């Protein structure tokens, strides 16, 4: 039975093989694939959902954290009737939130020849070309290649410093390949700091140094553009195999050496999306990022902000526990509240804030926890960007600018509150 279900799941992909048209972006297409939102009420339903994950080839977009949460899954056309029947049998409440995933993906089609702007998603080459041009145009920007990815692509950094003696804020993007809105938002913020005529944004660019790594996972990002839009990890073969062959990649936001491996769903399954590695600090991209952060003198970087999708959260340390909190947790909550209040002003977007292990799910080895627990940076967070599940990881490109505007507003509120709280002293 399971073999039949696997074949039924794979068949739509084979039938939807990519055309030769130059407009096709991906080798894998999702024509008529549906995205379902499931609400899991209790532990029994959660266990049944795990069995579905084991036995039926559907794509889970979220880690299974516990009951009382909604989870999104992608189901191919030949399996949809079976899955809906199974969910009804288990009395799991569900709804279809995307009728045809490929149509949604096509709304964010990438023009490979486009110049950098924030109405479209862009390729790695376009993003890096823009970074290089900005670096060449402004002497207060110090730009470095901090390392290479497993496949040999550059990992680039930009440091904006207009005045000696400033403290620094670190912005990190696209550690998860499929979260295109992450690097789009980080580059939007960098562009505002460089080119905006907004007096408040220019004041922030004068009074603070800004260190930006817009693309931590270039291999995975390129792979999402060329082969598999749903890819999350990096692209190093991890030594495991399954029925499809070699298993690739580590979830690099599970690979930092701070309470590594202590919690998280399927972080020990090498062929799964959330595999945290056989041990911490195995990935060259993560080692390059850590080495770069550590190259600055202690006390210089006062805030570390990692940008992800989705859910509209400001997630604070710790991730590995829902009962243990940082010594200055209340202070960090006040700063996160300032982000949330300010970010809601442009369009009414509500950001929930608090410890990630408490609000989201318990998971170990994240960048923000390493930055706080190992590097002693006093305010760290993961900002989960739009939306709350309507589009999820596939946010249409016509929302990029709005996301940038609301996050820039939130950033102003956050920095001003952090200064009031003495974070930059």
User: Strand (E) positions, 57-204?
Assistant: 59-60, 69-75, 93-98, 141-148, 154-160, 168-173
Could you list the active site residues? 384
Listed residue (105, 107, 84) closest to 96, CA to CA? 84
DSSP 282-346: --HHHHHHHHHHHTSPTTSEEEEEEEEESSSEEEES-SS-SS---TTHHHHHHHHHHHHHHHHHH
Dig out the tokens for 122 from the structure: 């862009």
Q: Report the alpha-carbon angle 245-248-249, nearest 5.
A: 165
- 167 half-sphere exposure, CB direction, 13 A CA radius: 17
Radius of gyration of the chain (CA): 21
Distances (CA, A) of 369 to 59, 373, 377: 28, 6, 10
Give the C-alpha separation, 289 to 264, whole Å: 22
- Coil, strand or helix: which one is 403? helix
CB contact set of 235 (below 8 Å; sequence gap of 6+): 149, 150, 151, 219, 220, 223, 248, 249
- Could you tell me which of 140, 170, 161 has the C-alpha nearest to residue 207? 161
Q: In what order do the strands lie in the sheet with 93-98?
A: 59-60, 69-75, 34-40, 93-98
Q: Beta 352-355 vs 313-316: how paired, if at all?
A: parallel
Determine the Cα–Cα distance for residues 18 and 168; give it in Å rounded to an integer: 46
Residues 6+ apart with CB under 8 A from 10: 57
């Amino acid at each position: 039975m399971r073999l039949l279900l696997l074949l039924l799941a794979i068949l739509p992909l084979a039938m939807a093989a990519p055309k030769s048209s130059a407009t096709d972006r991906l080798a894998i297409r999702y024509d008529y694939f549906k995205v379902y939102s499931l609400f899991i009420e209790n532990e029994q339903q959660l266990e049944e959902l795990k069995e579905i994950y084991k036995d039926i080839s559907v794509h889970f977009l979220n880690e299974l954290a516990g009951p009382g949460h909604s989870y999104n899954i992608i189901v191919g056309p030949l399996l949809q009737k079976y899955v809906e029947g199974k969910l009804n049998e288990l009395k799991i409440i569900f709804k279809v939130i995307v009728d045809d995933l490929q149509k949604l993906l096509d709304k964010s089609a990438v023009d490979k020849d486009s110049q950098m702007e924030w109405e479209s998603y862009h390729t790695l080459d376009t993003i890096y070309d823009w970074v290089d041009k900005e670096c060449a145009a402004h002497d207060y920007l110090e730009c470095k290649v901090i390392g290479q990815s497993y496949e040999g692509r550059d990992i680039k950094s930009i440091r904006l410093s207009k005045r000696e003696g400033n403290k620094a804020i670190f912005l990190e993007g696209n550690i998860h390949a499929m979260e295109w809105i992450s690097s789009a938002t980080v580059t939007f913020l960098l562009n505002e700091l460089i080119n905006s005529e907004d007096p408040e944004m220019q004041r922030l660019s004068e009074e603070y140094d800004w260190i930006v790594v817009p693309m931590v996972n270039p291999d995975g990002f390129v792979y999402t553009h060329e082969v598999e839009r749903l890819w999350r990890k990096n692209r190093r073969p991890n030594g495991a195999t399954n029925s499809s062959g070699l298993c690739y990649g580590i979830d690099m936001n599970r690979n930092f050496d701070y309470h590594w491996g202590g919690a998280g769903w399927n972080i020990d399954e090498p062929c799964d999306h959330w595999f945290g590695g056989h041990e911490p600090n195995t990935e060259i991209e993560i080692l390059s990022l850590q080495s770069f952060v550590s190259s600055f003198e202690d006390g210089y970087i006062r805030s570390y902000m990692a940008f992800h999708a989705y859910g509209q959260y400001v997630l604070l340390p710790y991730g590995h526990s829902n009962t243990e909190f940082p010594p200055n947790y209340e202070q960090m909550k006040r700063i996160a509240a300032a982000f949330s209040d300010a970010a809601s002003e442009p369009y009414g977007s509500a950001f929930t804030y608090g410890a990630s292990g408490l609000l989201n799910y318990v998971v170990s080895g994240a960048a923000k926890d390493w930055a706080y627990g190992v590097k002693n940076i006093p305010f760290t967070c993961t900002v989960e960007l739009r939306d709350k599940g309507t589009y999820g990881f596939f946010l249409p490109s016509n929302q990029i600018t709005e996301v940038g505007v609301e996050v820039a507003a939130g950033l102003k509120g956050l920095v001003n509150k952090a200064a009031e709280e003495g974070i930059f002293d």
